[in-house]
């Protein structure tokens, strides 16, 4: 599904552990892996300067990734000096990566606004898909568990679909990734729609569920045409609750989402559905940034 991967770590988010699992990542179809750590500027004194010792130390820690490289796979180490939100997009553009792996702790929108989040900023500004992983989980996996996780990063996706522009765009992007990638790692997906409760007549709800199921059928056929195993799931209830519950019930690798207005001012009163899933889900979230208008 993806062949060029940029893995961003701050050495405290668990992603640093992936330097030991290059063969496992390669088994998921990835052919080029770039490990990146941004070294803060040395700010003692009046003029900030590049921390050469910090850069050397970071490269030494990441160098483990180059010790066991499978045939046909490339591994690069990047330790630029500066802010991650500036350096990550530069590296992504330089290597023309397909996906960026980054960590993001569970937090509220208010906490994100107060304390900031590199991942949230990347979701708003980067044009590259993000695979968002929880540092708490990566840090607790055993080596055997992490090996399996790396091999199946993109094997089974849960795809929330409501017929909106964002969900249609998401399917288009997934279709493009699958169509252009040989030995595609994605094998299965579940298309899921949630009908919000609130209607007074049960009959109306039944009709809504039937109409929603019918809406999923052409999308299912489109994805099946690509050789995927595709299931559908239609539920009534709160979208956040039902999707997070489905993520636990089904044996998924990640939840795939996109958004039309993630990070814009409208998110404050409206609350971006994609943004809330990114903040609340313990499962990995594969986020496709909206296309440029």
The 10s digit of each residue's pLDDT in 28-56 is 999 999 999 999 887 666 667 788 889 99
Query: Which band of pLDDT confidence, cut at 50, 70 and 90, is reported for residue 57?
Result: very high
Q: Which range has the worst mean pLDDT, 147-151, 209-213, 240-244, 262-266? A: 262-266
CATH 3.30.1490.110 fits 1-152, yes or no: no
The span from the CA of 184 to the CA of 33, in Å, is: 17
Of 150-164, 185-199, 226-240, give the lowest mean pLDDT range.
Answer: 185-199
Q: Which among 106-110, 190-194, 260-264 has the top mean pLDDT?
A: 190-194
Residue 264 is predicted with a pLDDT of: 44
Which segment, 114-118, 169-173, 197-201, is predicted with the most confidence on average? 169-173
* Torsion on CA atoms 231, 236, 238, 244, rounded to nearest 10: -30
| Residues composing the chain | 293
Residue with tokens 């046909």: 72
Residue intervals of the chain classified under CATH 3.40.50.620 are: 1-152, 154-283
CATH level 3 topology of 154-283: Rossmann fold (3.40.50)
Instruction: Quote the radius of gyration of the chain (alpha carbons, Å).
Output: 20
Mean of pLDDT over the chain: 86
The answer to whether residue 276 scores a pLDDT higher than 60 is yes
Of the two residues 180 and 123, the one the predictor is more confident about is 180
pLDDT of residue 48: 72
Task: Tell me what pLDDT residue 289 has.
Answer: 86
Residues 6+ apart with CB under 8 A from 289: 123, 124, 126, 127, 128, 129, 130, 258, 262
Average pLDDT value for residue range 92-120: 70
Cα–Cα dist 75/35, whole Å: 8
Average the pLDDT over each of 69-73, 116-120, 199-203 and give the range with the smallest value.
199-203
**Helix, strand, coil percent content, the chain, rounded in steps of 5:** 45, 20, 35
Cβ neighbours of residue 13 closer than 8 Å, sequence gap 6 or more:
103, 135, 138
What confidence category does residue 116 fall into, taking pLDDT thresholds of 50, 70 and 90? very low
Is residue 201's pLDDT more than 80?
A: no
């Amino acid at each position: 599904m993806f062949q060029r991967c940029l893995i961003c770590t701050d050495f405290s988010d668990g992603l640093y552990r992936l330097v030991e699992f290059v063969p496992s990542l390669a088994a998921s179809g990835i052919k080029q892996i770039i490990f990146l750590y941004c070294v803060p500027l040395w700010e003692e004194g009046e003029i900030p300067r590049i921390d050469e010792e910090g850069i050397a130390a970071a490269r030494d820690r990441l160098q483990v990734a180059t010790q066991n490289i499978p045939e046909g796979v490339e591994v690069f180490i990047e330790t630029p000096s500066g802010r991650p939100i500036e350096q990550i997009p530069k590296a992504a553009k330089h290597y023309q990566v397909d996906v960026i792996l980054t960590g993001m702790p569970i937090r509220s929108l208010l906490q994100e606004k107060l304390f900031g989040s590199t991942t949230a900023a990347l979701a708003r500004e980067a044009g590259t898909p993000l695979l968002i992983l929880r540092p708490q989980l990566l840090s607790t996996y055993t080596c055997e568990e992490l090996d399996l996780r790396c091999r199946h990063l993109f094997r089974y996706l849960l795809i929330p679909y409501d017929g909106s522009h964002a969900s249609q765009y998401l399917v288009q992007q997934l279709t493009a990734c699958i169509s252009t990638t040989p030995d595609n790692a994605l094998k299965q997906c579940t298309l899921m729609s949630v009908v919000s409760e609130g209607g007074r007549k049960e009959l109306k709800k039944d009709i809504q569920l039937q109409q929603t199921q019918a809406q999923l059928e052409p999308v299912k056929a489109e994805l099946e045409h690509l050789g995927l195993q595709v299931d559908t799931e239609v539920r009534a209830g709160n979208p956040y609750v039902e999707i997070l519950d489905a993520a636990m019930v089904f044996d998924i690798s990640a939840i795939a989402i996109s958004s039309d207005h993630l990070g814009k001012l409208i998110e404050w009163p409206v609350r971006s559905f994609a943004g809330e899933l990114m903040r609340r889900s313990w499962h990995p979230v594969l986020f496709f940034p909206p296309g440029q208008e």
